[in-house]
Copies of this chain bind each other. A is one copy, B any other.
Amino acid sequence: MPRPTQPILSTRNITDAALDAVDATGDFTMPGIAKQLNVTPSSLYTHISGRSEIVELMRIRVMSSISVPHPPAGWSERISAWGWAYRRAAVEHWRLIPLLMTRSVRTEVTFDIDTALVQAFSDGGFNSTDTRHAISTLDSLVLGSVVKLSTPDVAWTQSSNPSEVTREAANPLRTDDTFEFGLRTLIAGWMAQCVVRLYTESHSDLPVTSR
């Protein structure tokens, strides 16, 4: 008879246990994770420095699940696919967001964004500063759209029925429409910048009002 396998404690299963707890309850505790993994709380600290690092590891876990299609897909198509994949991951783990905002200590952990996403902006003609801004903008749109999942939508007419507005707010499909609109607007804006750039580069002898 095989002996029961002993779970090997690792950064990975600590992160898994914490993310499960956050998804279910909105928070996690070190004793709770230890209990879940059938280890003592103190043994967790041989793998991670503390609560703050676990929050960071969860964020990295969620981000690293997102991938970008490769060429021949066009640059804007690749960016759009990344945006949607990120949105889906963020909706799934939305309760992680308040936790990211309320932690008091910043750790030294970070993550590397998929280089394929950087390549997509580069293929669209963006320099490194604009690429960084553009990725942050997309990040903001996704995070903000998920914050809005749990807040009532703006009531922009006097006649709006408040209860209808607040009931609508919990519906991800409604916010999917809005996200689609927002993503399309960003890409249209980036394409417009791209067109202006191509035009001014190929007509450098012509007067242009701005570039």
Residues of A at the B interface (CB closer than 8 Å) are 26, 56, 59, 94-95, 97-98, 100-102, 106-113, 115, 117-118, 130-137, 139-145, 147-148, 150-158, 160, 162-163, 165-166, 169-170, 175, 177-179, 181-182, 184-193
The reply to whether A154 and B136 contact each other, CB–CB distance below 8 Å, is: yes
The reply to whether A166 and B101 contact each other, CB–CB distance below 8 Å, is: no
Task: Give the dominant DSSP class at A's interface.
Answer: helix
Q: Hey, which chain B residues are within 8 Å of A97, CB to CB?
A: 98, 101, 147
The reply to whether A141 and B137 contact each other, CB–CB distance below 8 Å, is: yes
Q: Which of B100, B107, B133, B179 contacts A182 (CB 8 A)?
A: B133
Complexed CA–CA distance, A125 and B112 (Å): 41
The reply to whether A144 and B150 contact each other, CB–CB distance below 8 Å, is: no
Q: Hey, which chain B residues are within 8 Å of A170, CB to CB?
A: 106
Closest 5 pairs between A and B when the two form their complex, measured CB to CB: A144-B144, A140-B144, A189-B189, A137-B182, A98-B98
The reply to whether A160 and B192 contact each other, CB–CB distance below 8 Å, is: no
The reply to whether B101 and A162 contact each other, CB–CB distance below 8 Å, is: no
Q: Hey, which chain B residues are within 8 Å of A186, CB to CB?
A: 182, 185-186, 189
Q: Which of B113, B148, B163, B169 contacts A154 (CB 8 A)?
A: B113
The reply to whether A107 and B166 contact each other, CB–CB distance below 8 Å, is: yes
Q: Which of B160, B178, B188 contacts A133 (CB 8 A)?
A: B178
The reply to whether B100 and A136 contact each other, CB–CB distance below 8 Å, is: no
Q: Hey, which chain B residues are within 8 Å of A133, CB to CB?
A: 177-178, 181-182
* 26 A–B contacts from the bound complex (CB under 8 Å): A97-B147, A98-B102, A100-B151, A106-B166, A106-B170, A110-B155, A112-B160, A113-B155, A113-B156, A133-B181, A133-B182, A136-B153, A136-B154, A137-B141, A137-B181, A140-B144, A140-B178, A140-B179, A143-B144, A144-B144, A144-B147, A185-B185, A185-B193, A189-B189, A189-B192, A191-B192
